[in-house]
Structures are given as C-alpha cells and as structure tokens.
Amino acid sequence: MSTLLEKIKQLSVEITPDTLVNRHHIHANPELSYQEFQTQAYVLEQLERMGIQAKKIANTGLIAEIKGKNPNKKVVALRADMDALPILETNDVPYKSKNPGVMHACGHDVHTASLLGTAQILQKVRDEFEGTIKLLFQPAEEKAPGGASIMIKEGALQNPTPASIFGQHVATNVPVGKIGFREGMYMASTDELYIKVIGKGGHGAMPDACIDPIVIASHIIVAMQQIISRNKNPKLPSVLTFGKIEGLGATNVIPDEVNIAGTFRAMDETWRAEGLEKMKKLAEGIADAMGGRAQFEVLKGYPFLQNNPELTRRSKAAAIEYMGADNVVDLDLWMAGEDFAFYTHHVDACFYRLGIRNEEKGITSGVHTPTFDIDEASLSIGPGLMAWLAVKELEA
C-alpha cells in the first residue's frame, strides 16, 4: 500500500468534523435550483480558507483548480451539485432545513460537503502528485436545462480541458461503507411530454354532438405504449410513463380539452429522437382520425449517462485499493436521470455511488422523500476516496 494512499485515508478521517460541519450547514440552508447564492458564498469561503482560489460560473456555480507538481501534465475534474428540492423536510435532526418547503432530499449537501473535504485533502498533498485537479461546484442539477449544460457552455471543460471527470452520488440502496460502479450506459435521458387533446365539449347525454377528448386521450395513452413495445430495439432499455391526465368535465359534461403529462426515458440518443418523433405523429394522427386535434410538446431534458468503460475499470480498481474488494459493488441500470450526463458526452467520465444506507439505524428512506437522510459515517469515506481516484487517474 502506497504512502500517499495511507496519508489520504488518514486525512479523510481527520477532516471528518469539518466535513460534517459543512454538510450540516448546507443541509440546514437549502436553496432551489438556480437560486444557490448563499451556498455559493459558503463554498467560496471554505475554499478560500484552504488557500484555494475559485471563480464564479453559471451564475451560482464555482470552479477552482488545485495544482500539483508539473500542473500541465494532465487535468482531472471533480464535480458536485449544490441545489435542493421543493420538499418539506420531516426529519427531527439538529440540522433540519430552516427553509420550509425546501430540502436537500437528494444528497447534494453530501456531495458538496464531500467535495470540499476532497479539496481539503488534495490541497494538503498537492506536492505529492503531478497535474491539476479541477473542482466544479455546480448549480441546478434538479431542473432543466440542468446546471451542467450551462457550466459546459460557459467553459467549465476548457482552459484547461480535463482528460476525465468524476461525479459522486449518494446511493440509498447501497450500505454505508460500500461504493458502487457501472461501466457503459448507466442512467437514462429524461424528457417531459405534454399533450393537449382538443375536441368539442357538450352534454354527456349527447356524445354524437361532441368530439370527446377524453376518449381520444385514452386511445393516445394506450397506443403510445406500443411505440415502446413494438418500435424500440428490445435490447435498449426505455420507459414511457404518463403520470397526469386532466379533463375538467363532469359525470354529465364532456370537456373541450384534455391535458396529458408524462416522461420518456431512453439509453440511446438515436432512439430517443426517433421515439419522440413517432409519439408526436401518433398522437396527432389518432386525434385527427377521431375528429379532434393534438398538440404535442417536449421539454427536452438530460441525455443518457454513459460511464467510460476503461476509466470506470481503472477507478473501480483504485477503489478496491482504497476500500477493499468486499466493499466495491457493481451497480444495475437506473432509469432515473442526472445532468452529469452532459459531461459524459464531452469527456471520459465516471459517475459512481457512495453507500449511505444503514438499516440498523433506520436510515432507509429514498431520495426525493421528506425523510431522506444518510449514515454520516459515509462522510469519512467519500472525500478521501474521490481524492484517491483523482490522484490515481492523474497517474494513469
């Protein structure tokens, strides 16, 4: 075991009190997407205390560099997201959200605090590695168009350009003390679908005098599923879900229109485009054939997330060095979306998962729930592991 590995592991434990203070502060003061001004100021203050200069980007984001020896040799980027969700927290903890209706329910407080810890470690060992490590503190992961896309447009992956980028995310299904990796496709693209079906309303007892948008909408919803089952390559995962249908009629009133909302998820950009086009044509065609009209709108979300296989294999091997083989697990496909995906289409990337579950302590809630929390033992692991992955990749 290398001396640097031992030093990083020791530092990760030693700085745990600082990491916890940072996590608790950020958790107690959550801010919604594109509104992370106080979080940005807090992170900037912590970086400056470490002697790390940072600059603002994407309005509420930050970017910083830690230069080792021979800083131009290679660049590796590390990313954390900073925004919270519009959820009312019900946890009874000292660091409970002070902003009613806003909560760090997806672990972005953990990601930000962990990356601050990683920065603290790397700053202390910067004379023991070659190259530059770029820190991206990113806003607005939770809301389209996604802070990652804005960071990229504003040059986060330029001057200098990283050879690779890492992202860490909490995993509520992975026990604390374990880390998860997956090569290749991992998370899905996320598009929001909005269909307005326009008919002609009237009395429910006289349907012949109406064009019933509820019946049309029903045909559209059922037919749409056949695009997934009969047009998609069965080897490519994909999901189509309609979670909202609104037709403001009554038992005896046929409404003028029905509004449908749903989500389309894919693991392939070509199929994503084809599927959306087929859905539009199908919705419009069915409505037209039944005497009505359909307006089909798409709010484009994030692309699918692909982990570079070679980078992920190297990172998994480095994690085994750090954690031991028994504590590094393989992840399954996940049809949720994540705007880290934008980075993965520009540079070699590895998005891995930090276990935070502890059933004995009752820490089992999923992300995006009002009772989400973590086993904070994970915060003695996350900072050092990410530092080690970055240093090992600079050497690769």
What is the rounded CA–CA span in Å between residue 321 and residue 317? Answer: 6
What's the N-to-C CA distance of the chain in angstroms? 17
Do 138 and 33 meet the contact criterion of CB atoms below 8 Å apart? Answer: no
Beta bridge pairs of residue 357? 175
Q: How many CB atoms lie within 10 A of CB 50?
A: 17
Please tell me the total number of residues recorded for the chain in this structure: 396
Q: How many CB atoms lie within 10 A of CB 175?
A: 16
Do 370 and 87 meet the contact criterion of CB atoms below 8 Å apart? Answer: yes
Is 83 an active-site residue? yes
The C-alpha torsion from 367 through 87 and 221 to 257, rounded to 10°, is -170
Catalytic choice (83, 89, 256, 393): 83
The structure tokens 């047009």 sit at 231
Is 36 an active-site residue? no
Q: How many CB atoms lie within 10 A of CB 184?
A: 12
Do 219 and 164 meet the contact criterion of CB atoms below 8 Å apart? Answer: no
Do 137 and 115 meet the contact criterion of CB atoms below 8 Å apart? Answer: yes
* Ramachandran area for residue 382 (φ above 0: left; ψ -120 to 50: alpha; else beta): alpha
Beta bridge pairs of residue 192? 263, 299
Closest CA to 80 of 54, 109, 47, 122: 109
Q: Measured between alpha carbons, how far is residue 176 from residues 110, 143, 291, 328, 361 in Å?
A: 13, 28, 57, 11, 11
The structure tokens 């990491």 sit at 19
- What SS3 class is residue 238? strand
For the record, the structure tokens of 334 come out as 């996940």
Catalytic choice (141, 268, 339, 348): 141
The full DSSP string for 239-271 is EEEEEEEE---BTTEE-SEEEEEEEEEES-HHH
The C-alpha torsion from 299 through 79 and 45 to 158, rounded to 10°, is -90
Which residues are tagged catalytic?
Answer: 83, 141
